[in-house]
Amino acid sequence: MHLRETTWTDAEAVDTDIALLPVGSTEQHGPHAPLGTDALTAQAVADAGADASDREVIVAPPINVGVAEEHRDFAGTLWVSEETFREYVRETIDSLAHHGWDRVVVVNGHGGNVDPLRELCARVSRHGDAYAVPFTWFDAVDAPDMGHGGPVETSLLQHSHAGLVHEDRLEEATEGGADRWGEWVSGVNLAYDTAEFSENGTVGDPRDGSATRGERLLDEASDALGALLDRVAER
Ligand SMILES: [Zn+2]
């Protein structure tokens, strides 16, 4: 059940304690993929996981702005501080729990959100009224070539939101992009901002992506999320 499309009376009648909260980011993903990539992919994974599950699951509306200041040099990128993000997500989880949906899986699509989500979910679970865990979809699938706006994210979008990927810019995206994330010396990443190591914001080669791989990735992510939901429900 998607809260955004549901009346309060129908929400009240749902018999479940499980909720999914999609969390993304609004940030550059190279010249070929939309600023909303991380929110769109998180939502696609949450929807697929909810559809595939035998359980009744609440799907909360997505949080579209996350911890993404590292992309500030590229137009359209939005961000909040880690503190604001942690408080906002935590209070959103508290409000889900208020209605009895107190087992919450945060479905995340952005690397910069990972550390704050882990911290806030631990805090909610230890001291709050809910049990919450973060699920970052690209950590749950076979994606060694993740990059940024690289083949993994591009594939998922080519499957779920084909019209938003500029196929005619994949060449340009690769040429102006970087091979790996960061600028590493002695195990230290010297770069704080993406623009320090990638001219157009891309990391990896999106030409290696395809809608077929995207379909496989979404299936894999949805299976992983389903298994997680079962464990969280039984806990
Ligand atoms: Zn991304």
Instruction: State pTM to two decimals.
Output: 0.97
Ligand 1 centre distance from Cα of residue 33 (Å) = 9
Ligand 1 centre distance from Cα of residue 143 (Å) = 13
Per-residue pLDDT of the chain (235 residues; tens, 9 = 90+): 999 999 999 999 999 999 999 999 999 999 999 999 999 999 999 999 999 999 999 999 999 999 999 999 999 999 999 999 999 999 999 999 999 999 999 999 999 999 999 999 999 999 989 999 999 999 999 999 999 999 999 999 999 999 999 999 999 999 999 999 999 999 999 999 999 999 999 999 999 999 999 999 999 999 999 999 999 999 8
78's CB contacts (< 8 A; 6+ apart) are: 25, 26, 27, 65, 68
How far apart CA 22 and CA 44 sit, in angstroms, is 9
Ligand 1 centre distance from Cα of residue 14 (Å) = 33
Q: Tell me, what's the pLDDT at 172?
A: 98
Q: 76 exposed, middle or buried (CB, 10 Å; 0-12, 13-18, 19+)?
A: exposed
- Rg, Å, the chain Cα set: 18
Ligand 1 centre distance from Cα of residue 202 (Å) = 10
Ligand 1 centre distance from Cα of residue 26 (Å) = 9
Q: 97 exposed, middle or buried (CB, 10 Å; 0-12, 13-18, 19+)?
A: buried
Q: Tell me, what's the pLDDT at 79?
A: 98
CB atoms within 10 A of CB 12: 10
- Give the Å distances, CA to CA, from 91 to 101, 110, 115, 163: 13, 20, 17, 34
The β-bridge partners of 20 are 59, 105
Per the CB < 8 A criterion, the answer to whether 112 and 233 are in contact is no
Ligand 1 centre distance from Cα of residue 173 (Å) = 14
Ligand 1 centre distance from Cα of residue 142 (Å) = 16
Ligand 1 centre distance from Cα of residue 150 (Å) = 9
Ligand 1 centre distance from Cα of residue 147 (Å) = 8
Ligand 1 centre distance from Cα of residue 231 (Å) = 27
Per the CB < 8 A criterion, the answer to whether 70 and 193 are in contact is yes
Judged by DSSP in three states, 160 sits in: helix
Q: Tell me, what's the pLDDT at 58?
A: 98
